Structure 1
Amino acid sequence: MNISIIETSSLGDRSYLVDHDGVAVVIDPQRDIDRVLELATDRDVTITHVLETHVHNDYVTGGLELARTVGAQYVVPAGDDVAYDRRPAHDGDVVEAGAMRFEVLHTPGHTHHHVSYALRVGGDSPSAVFTGGSMLHGTTGRTDLISAEDTEELTHAQFHSVRRLAAELPDEAEVYPTHGFGSFCSATPATGDSSTIGAARQDNPALTSDESTYVADLIAGLSAYPAYYAHMGVINAAGPSPVDLTTPEPVDPAELRQRIDAGEWVVDLRTRTAFAAGHLAGTFGFELSGSFVTYLGWLYRWGAPLTLIADDHTAIDDARRELVRIGIDDVRGAAVGPIDDLSAGRPLRSYRVSDFAELAGSPLPAEATLLDVRQSHEFAKRSVPGAVNIPLHELLAHLGEIPLGEVWVHCGSGYRASIAASILDGPDRTVVLVDDAFATAVDLGLAA
């Protein structure tokens, strides 16, 4: 038997292809199913089943399209109200695929109807369990994505679900979660890339704490999650449309300027320093890196037409793939090439890039603003005295509260600050991007 991991690091998720003797099963596939199909071809296997642990809140599933494409049986938790035919997975059911047996365990917590799949081959004891958003590596899935009213109930359920997995599975069984590799679906940051039931007994809070402590700690530690999550469950329950990864239509400089002037979302994918050195007024800078799609999806006005700017077509295609994973399909076009060539004759805007060493060596003028766009729980833990905290995901709603004039903006790494700087940039502000790790501020004695 072979378990292949299909990593989607930008969303902090993993999908799995499990095969044995030419038969394969896929668990929790992302929307861009070409990766799964290519892997199945490489493995020379036939996909007979596609299993979902839950209706996902952080990405658009590729399960329905994959099952239809390869003629596989689509298995979805029985309690979920979906608008398409599927095999409902009830607690105690067994999904048989050749010699592989996937036993369904109802593990509510991340959602009400969440299930896990314990894998046996032949008559052997379970060798692996696919836990979705239940038992993660060193943590558990968050429990507040359904509603505030359901959070406490689901947190208690999550505690018992993890305990059930530990009680019913052997210590040597490998644990394969979907979330927990940087996903906001994780209640707290996960630890490590692999784990077993035995290891979970030592480091999973649902197994090392009593129920009341676990529930109180998890709820107290919950922080904000991306706004686009509100749309994912709806899309997944209705049945996502087939994925479209075609390159967006080219946009010339004149049309690009018209879209900017009309207030449309025009996103520049170049590096944060390249954007700072020269960009088109009215565009947003979202460097195409590991955090790109999470933060664009968080701030994006859902349903708005989107135009992309990049140095080359490879970046456009990569961004397109990232965007369809969270259901942003309406990319109206792309402009590619040197930024000077895309300016339609208008002057470029720019702002300065600095670091914490400069702040430490030369205090800001009294009239300047230091803006910290980290989340509120990060700010509460440690901050630079005098900094104003407006988390990045709240910035667009609070622009009027930020003074005009000189604004220095920082975050934990420079990435969120670079997005904020692009939003703040304008003729009435002198923006300075602090492109530095907050740990440097701590080391320099700036943060208290």
Structure 2
Amino acid sequence: MKIEQIYTGCLAQGAYYIESKGEVAIVDPLREVKPYMEKAEAAQAKIKYIFETHFHADFVSGHVTLAKETGAQIIYGPKANPSFEAVIAEDNQEFKLGDITIKVLHTPGHTMESTTYLLIDENGKAHAIFSGDTLFLGDVGRPDLAQKAKELTQEDLAGFLFDSLRNKIMPLSDDVIVYPAHGAGSACGKNMSK
């Protein structure tokens, strides 16, 4: 298994390349998809999945182009309603990638479709989470950026975020590695660490 962060400093954004047994998943790809395709080609691997943690407002995702170029499926968590072809996964749904598993943890709060992806290694052990904008290093995602409906307040979103952190993330083992979507400098959190 190989996990590589592809970090873009000017956006403080981290995309992730995950490879296992010739199959690849990309988490939160940037618009320029050639580097992901070149990396997979060099490893003689096939891009199978594109996991989106939520709809991004701070950068343009390359998911549609990457899916078109590779035949990979775009995966969103529950509550997503894209205008393009994608798999809308259910909470706790699992996706096989080589000899590892990616499990969907619906973690609303930053946005209602926010999803954390749990990587389970070849031995069945929780290894890492790709937390998107739910959990950062030193902070959590802002619940005040996704208010689209009058009936949904930032307090409502903060409550969803609290429940997501308490009920989905905190029960995980302390040795699970956290791979967030952003680092210090992003407006999606206020006190993020590098």
Q: TM-score, normalised by structure 2?
A: 0.92
Shift of residue 92 of structure 1?
1.2
Q: Which residue of 1 aligns with 2:101?
A: 101
Q: Quick one: which of 168, 174, 177 aligns to 2:177? A: 174
**Does structure 1 retain, via aligned residues, the 8 Å contact 2:77–2:104?**
no
Cα distance in 2 for partners of 1:140, 1:88 equals 24
Give per-residue Cα distances to partners, 1:387-407, cap 9 Å, x unaligned: xxxxxxxxxxxxxxxxxxxxx
SS of 2:24's equivalent in the other structure is strand
Matched, 1:190 2:192: yes
Q: Are residue 18 (structure 1) and residue 18 (structure 2) matched? A: yes
Could you give the per-residue CA deviations for residues 8-63 of structure 1, whole angstroms, max 9, x where no partner exists? 11111100000112211110001111121222233332111111111111111111
Work out the CA distance in 2 between the residues paired with 1:166 and 1:76: 18
* 3-state secondary structure, aligned to 1:6: strand
Q: Which amino acid aligns with 2:174?
A: D
Q: More relative contact order in 1 or in 2 (CA 8 Å, sep 6+)? A: 2
Match of 1:345 in 2: none
Q: Any idea what SS the aligned residue of 2:88 has? A: strand
Percent identity of paired positions between Structure 1 and Structure 2: 32
Verify: 1:3 aligned to 2:3, yes or no.
yes
More helix by share: 1
The separation in 2 between residues aligned to 1:80 and 1:92, in whole angstroms, is: 15
Distance of aligned partners of 1:86 and 1:166 in 2 relative to their CA distance in 1, 3 Å threshold = closer
Question: Structure 1 residues 170, 27: CA separation in 2 closer, same or farther (over 3 Å shift)?
Answer: same
Partners in 1 of 2:43 and 2:180 — Cα distance? 22
Cα distance in structure 1, aligned partners of 2:170 and 2:78: 23
Separation of aligned partners in 1, 2:172 and 2:142: 22
Q: Secondary structure at the match of 1:130?
A: strand
Q: Is contact 1:13–1:182 with CA below 8 Å preserved after alignment?
A: no
Q: Give 1:207-222 correspondences, 5 Å limit.
A: none
Q: Secondary structure at the match of 1:163?
A: helix
> 1:90: Cα distance to partner?
1.3
Larger radius of gyration: 1
User: Superposition pairs for residues 383-398 of structure 1, below 5 Å?
Assistant: none
- Give the match for residue 161 of structure 1: 164
1:12-411 aligned within 5 A: 12-147=12-147, 149-186=152-189, 188-192=190-194
- Cα distance change of structure 1 residues 181 and 37 upon mapping to structure 2, 3 Å threshold: farther
Q: Distance in 2 between matches of 1:168 and 1:21?
A: 29
Q: CA deviation at 1:71?
A: 0.8
Whole-Å separation in 2 of the counterparts to 1:166 and 1:116 = 9
How many residues align? The count is 191
Instruction: Specify every segment of 5 or more residues in structure 1 that has no aligned partner in the other structure, as ranges.
Output: 193-448
- Counterpart secondary structure, 1:153: helix
Q: CA deviation at 1:143?
A: 1.1
Change (3 A) 1:92 1:4: same
Q: Give SS of 2:80's match.
A: coil
Gaps spanning 5+ residues in structure 2: where?
Answer: none
